[in-house]
Structure formats: structure tokens, C-alpha cells
Amino acid sequence: MRAASVSDYRELARRRLPKIFFEYIDGGSYAEETLRRNVADLEAIALRQRVMRDMTELDMGVEVLGQELSMPVGLSPVGMAGMYGRRGEVQAARAAAAAGVPFCLSTVGVCSVEEVAKGAQAPWFQLYMLKDRGYMRELLGRAKDLHCPVLVFTVDLPVPGARYRDVRSGFTGASKFEAAMTQLWDGITHPGWTWDVFVNGRPHSLGSVASAVQDSRRVTDFLSWIARNFDRSVTWKDLDWVRETWDGPIVVKGVLDPEDARDAVRAGAQGLVVSNHGGRQLDGVRSSISALPRIADAVGNDLEVFMDGGVRSGLDVLKALSLGARACFLGRAWAYALGAGGEAQVAKMLATVRSELAVAMILTGCRSAQEAGPELLDGLDPPPASRRDLS
């Protein structure tokens, strides 16, 4: 099968990856209503086709937090990407650098921030606030010393959401014996992944926080430690604490409410990501795209607004730009591509998104991504998300 779209990469990843890791990428929380809304609400928005316009000149570049991007796209932080491809975060970061877009490294990535910076580029660094503030200060200092250009402070995970797929697959909640049997069977039935990742992709730890985790052998042990150490006490005042170590731009990720967006402005953030964590946290909340216009209106030009959640094509990117986003971040899209075939497939996926965005801009008469606005849409009120099964 030759992949032509994100849904194709999803299918290739499903075939190649062990079930526990595919379900971890693919699933959401609870009944996955928000996961479905993220995709369906974007699909329901209609672009306004325009004709007979000179579209010889097309500018897809944007400036984001002082950086020039080749297109208004970045790669969102995705946990444990090194379990989808050999040293997966490094592979994805190389593909992003070649495409001229940013890569954001998760706190819970398999590759450390040092490994990614050395093997590809200094990434945007995503921070989960953990209870051990001394270690958090050390981690921020490491990212700063590597000249990571942006800190992405994720605020919608004081506690992990209930992800039923992970329980059903045996990824969480299984005994050590059950986990070992699942791992053995996955290795036998997925020999390509076993050779690429399990044998040659070690160590299977969470690189950036590995030194803080004691007596952990499996990647799920690290995740359990992380879950126990999320700090529920975090407030907007903690941005002042972050500023004591980090003096670069801060982007707050996980905002769905306009008042929270105003709080981000008051707290001195330079950007925010409208996001529901890919439908993996509180199920039943708004889709990211439906929350975007109100948040963009609430903050105006006080900070830069980005969006993630449900973005599967260049057409989706243009829709988000039209509703107030400066750029979009892709999460599952690049994780699927990485699982399908590593760096080469991530690069191909980004090229496809670029091509789709170019076609969408030409056929809506949008010459510059920086000038995209609501005039590109055929009606601004999308119908309710469909209830169809997107799996």
C-alpha cells in the first residue's frame, strides 16, 4: 500500500506496530467523543471556492515567535515516539528541519532533548510540570543550554485522562506476566518493528527524565512514574517560577476557554495552543476548531494563537488559519507516518500537507498564508459533529 493521505499512514502504522502502541497513538479518553469531534468538526467547515484570479504568486511562509516557517505547520509533542520508529523523535525532528517547520519534543519522549538537538535540531521543548521542582529546574536549564527556541508549557494534564483502549490492549493495568506475554506475542507477530525498534532502538526509556526515575525497566514503568508525579497544584503564578530559569518565548498548550486564554495573556505568555490534548483528556469537551474563533477574538494580537487536534490535511490547516490560528500543529499525523516507515514517511507526509495547502490556497484565492481570514470560508457555523466511527 502506497500512502497518499494521513488515513493511509494510519493504516500502515496499524499493520506495522504492536497493538499496544498503535492503540496508544490512535485512542482517546473515555468514549472518545472529543476525539471524533476534532476530526468531524473540521470536515464540516466548507471552504469558499473562488475562480479567475491570478494565483501565480503563492506565499505559504509565516513568521512564528520570530522564526520563519516554510508553511504554517509544526509537529506537536507526541509521547514515546521512539517506540514507533527507531529513535523516533530524532527521525521526526530531521524530517521537520528539512521541511522548514518546527518539531516539539515531548517531556515523555524516548529520545532526550540532548539526543534530538545533536541528531537533528534544537527542538521546541514541551514541559509537563512535575512535583519535583528541582528536577524541573534542571530540565529547563538543559533545554535552555541547548538553545531550544520555544518552551511549550502543557497545562491540561494535571492528571491523565482515562484511556480505555490502553486498558483493553494491555498497555496499562496489566500484570508483569501479562505484559511480558503481550510483548512476546507482539514481537513474534510484528518482526519488522521488533528488529527496527525493540532490538536496535534501545534504550527504551523516557530520555529527558530517565535520571529521575529509579528501578524502571519498561517504558510503561516510566509512564507510571510520570503519572504519579504530575503536579495538580499548578496555577498561572507558576509561570513566574518557570521564568526564573527560562527567558525565551513560552507557549501555553491546552487552552479551550476564552477566559483561560485571557489569563495566559495576563501571565505573560507569548503564545497559546488551542487544544484538548487530541481528545485524550476530558472527553465531551469542544473540538479544538470550534473553540478557536472565540479564543482568537478574546486575545486579539496580545499573543500568537496556534491550534492542534484533528488536523489531517492541508485543507484543515487553511480552515484553522481562516478562523484565527497563526499555525497548526500535527500530532497523530506524524506519529502515524513515523510508525508507517520512519523519517522518510514523515517527510512525505509533510510534503503532502504542503501540496494540499497550496491547492486549497489557490482554489480559494488566498495568495498568502499570513493573510488567510474568514472570507475563505463558506459560512462560519459548522453543523454538530457527526457520530460516525472514525476508526
Q: Annotated active-site positions, please?
A: 277
Q: Is there a cis peptide before residue 191, judged by omega within 30 degrees of 0?
A: no
| DSSP state at residue 244 | T
All three cell numbers of 174: 496489566
Cα 68 from Cα 73, distance rounded (Å): 11
Side chain identity at residue 33, one-letter code? E
Cα 68 from Cα 59, distance rounded (Å): 12
- Residue in the block written with cell 499496544: 20
Spell out the long-range contacts of 180-189 with Cβ–Cβ below 8 A and sequence spacing 24 or more. Answer: 182/20, 183/18, 186/18, 186/19, 186/20, 187/18, 189/18
Q: What values do phi and psi take at 117, rounded to 5?
A: -60, -40
Cα 238 from chain centre: 23
Side chain identity at residue 192, one-letter code? G
What Rg value do the Cα atoms of the chain yield, rounded? Answer: 20
Cα 300 from chain centre: 24
Cα 277 from Cα 275, distance rounded (Å): 5
Picking from 183, 150, 152, 151, the residue whose alpha carbon sits closest to that of residue 169 is 183
Paired strand residues for 306: 273, 327
Which helix (H) or strand (E) is 216 found in, with range? none
Cα 125 from Cα 303, distance rounded (Å): 19
Helix (H/G/I), strand (E/B), else coil: 251? strand
